[in-house]
Amino acid sequence: MRLHEAIHVSNEGGYNEGLKLAAQVISTLDPSYLTHMILHTARMVLDTVPVEKRAGLPALGDYRAAISASVPN
């Protein structure tokens, strides 16, 4: 639910806030919950950010680190 909130926030122009929320959600989840669906939904947040706006977002680094976590076997 919180990842969908992050998508909504970003769609409304709060790109940094949406990325920050998604990173927070992903980084606080137990690894057993990092399923393909959860990580896919988290990646959808970045899809809402226009490419030309991505370079200047402070939360982008933390977001990328959080979603790069591998899905447990």
Show the domain range for 8: 2-67
Q: Are 19 and 59 in contact (CB under 8 A)?
A: yes
CA dihedral of residues 10, 2, 24, 21 (deg, nearest 10)? 20
Mean pLDDT throughout 47-68? 93
Q: Which of 49, 54, 43, 51 is nearest to 3 (CA)?
A: 43
How many structural domains are present in the chain?
1
In a domain, 32, yes or no: yes
- In this prediction the pTM is 0.88
Evaluate whether 42 touches 22 at the Cβ level (below 8 Å): yes
| Cα angle value 44/38/48 (rounded, 5°) | 10
Instruction: Please say whether the beta carbons of 43 and 59 come within 8 A.
Output: no
Domain presence at residue 73 = no
**Is 20 part of a structural domain of the chain?**
yes
pLDDT in tens, 25-52: 999 999 888 899 999 999 999 999 999 9
Give a yes or no: residue 72 inside a domain: no
| 62 belongs to a structural domain | yes
